[in-house]
Structure 1
Amino acid sequence: MNQPEQAPEAPVQAAGCVLWRRSPVDGALELCLVHRPKYDDWSWPKGKLKRGEDHLAGALREVAEETGYDAAPGAELSTVCYMAGDRAKEVRYWAAEATEGVFVPNDEVDRILWLSPTAARHRLTQPRDRALLDELLVRVFERT
């Protein structure tokens, strides 16, 4: 007897930001990368949404939780879809300017780095995160 097909699970919904600031030293553009010891990777601050949470609110919450910084959201960037284990994950991103805050290491993120776009490109673990960096530079800072 045939088993009825199960509908595929909906993708995990997540949100994050490509967090930036102007260097306090020389005013140059700096991007914030987070290091997650669980995955030993460098990426943008992001995370799963809470039940019923708006994507932008979730993105700003994740930035605050992972980096200690408040952020002023700007342009919405691309949504990134990928497999996380055996389940699809869909992450909506925004460009966001860091306003104020102080990083304190926590269980999820043990380090952050503020890097130039070139240094961030080399440090990011996933190619999909590099594409978001390019999008930020073109759409927000009008650089190619």
Structure 2
Amino acid sequence: MTYEEAPRGEPGARRPKQGTVHAAGCVLWRRSPVDGALEICLVHRPKYDDWSHPKGKLKRDEDPLAGALREVEEETGHRCAPGPRLPTARYVAGGRPKQVTYWAAEATEGHFVPNREVDRVLWLPPFAARNRLTQLRDRQLVDALLSVLNPA
């Protein structure tokens, strides 16, 4: 069990942290406007100085797919057409279990504008995207995307 500090004035220095954080996101892709090659969108979060797929916490009672599409648009400025569901990531963040549900999603329209959460986006070929991602678990999602876009 993990713990957090109790608010000042409350008896006891620590209490158990709450349950799982639920989040959702997409592995956002497009065909290059130059040569039609597959490109994957990565977001840079200055708060963590990392590169990841667009994702975020779900609002109360929000449908995971709706949350994933909302987060993609908020972080990248792009709307997208959702495709197959990808593997769910489970890990601990900030001392709490976190579960992120992902979908493959093709970018349809939009334009990135830097914001407080995301200051840069990159559209990269799969190999370069895989290498740029900070977390190993995010690299596995590139492989999952490639398997659903190019089934054997």
TM-score w.r.t. length of structure 1: 0.92
Query: Are 1:13 and 2:17 counterparts?
Result: no
Deviation by residue 1:12-49 (Cα, 9 ceiling, x = unmatched)? 00000000000000000000000000000000000000
Q: How many residues align?
A: 138
What is the one-letter code of the residue matched to 1:92?
Answer: T
Q: Which runs of 5+ in 2 are unaligned?
A: 1-14
Deviation by residue 1:76-127 (Cα, 9 ceiling, x = unmatched)? 0011001111101100000000000000000000000000001101100000
Query: How far does residue 63 in structure 1 lie from its aligned partner after superposition?
Result: 0.1
Aligned to 1:142: 151
Cα-Cα RMSD: 1.3
Aligned to 2:91: 82
Aligned partner (choices 96, 101, 110) of residue 101 of structure 1: 110
User: How far apart are the structure 2 equivalents of 1:35 and 1:8?
Assistant: 28
Worse-matched range after superposition: 6-15 or 72-81: 6-15
User: How far apart are the structure 1 equivalents of 2:151 and 2:109?
Assistant: 25
- Aligned residue for 2:35, secondary structure, equals coil
- Equivalent pairs: percent with the same residue? 70
Query: How far does residue 139 in structure 1 lie from its aligned partner after superposition?
Result: 1.8
- Aligned residue for 1:93, secondary structure, equals strand
Aligned partner (choices 111, 116, 135) of residue 120 of structure 2: 111
The 8 Å contact of residues 26 and 105 in structure 2, kept in 1 or not, is answered as yes
Larger radius of gyration, structure 1 or 2?
Answer: 2
What is the one-letter code of the residue matched to 1:54?
Answer: D
